């Protein structure tokens, strides 16, 4: 069980960072006006970024124990 958790933790940090990077790209695509690709999702993108950054912080704390 612990080895499975350790395997997940090996990829979780980079996976979260990749999701942050994708959201940042989407945020760029949400501007400057209504014609932008992600205009309607811009508030959700900000929420996702906030949540992912919190998750990233928690993952970093957990990695110290591995």
The pLDDT tens digits for 29-42 are 988 888 888 899 99
Structure tokens at 24: 């940042």
Report pTM: 0.85
> Are 30 and 41 contacting, i.e. CB atoms less than 8 angstroms apart?
yes
At 19, is the pLDDT very low, low, confident or very high (cuts 50, 70, 90)?
Answer: very high
Q: CA-to-CA distance for 42 and 53, rounded, in angstroms?
A: 17
* Cβ-based neighbours of 48, under 8 Å, separated by 6 or more: 19, 23
Helices H / strands E in the chain, number of each: 2, 0
At 63, is the pLDDT very low, low, confident or very high (cuts 50, 70, 90)?
Answer: confident
């Amino acid at each position: 069980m612990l080895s499975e958790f350790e395997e997940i933790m090996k990829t979780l940090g980079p996976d979260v960072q990749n999701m942050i990077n994708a959201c940042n790209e989407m945020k760029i695509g949400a501007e400057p006006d209504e014609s932008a690709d992600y205009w309607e999702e811009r508030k959700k993108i900000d929420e996702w970024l906030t949540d992912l950054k919190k998750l990233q912080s928690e993952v970093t704390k957990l990695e110290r124990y591995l």
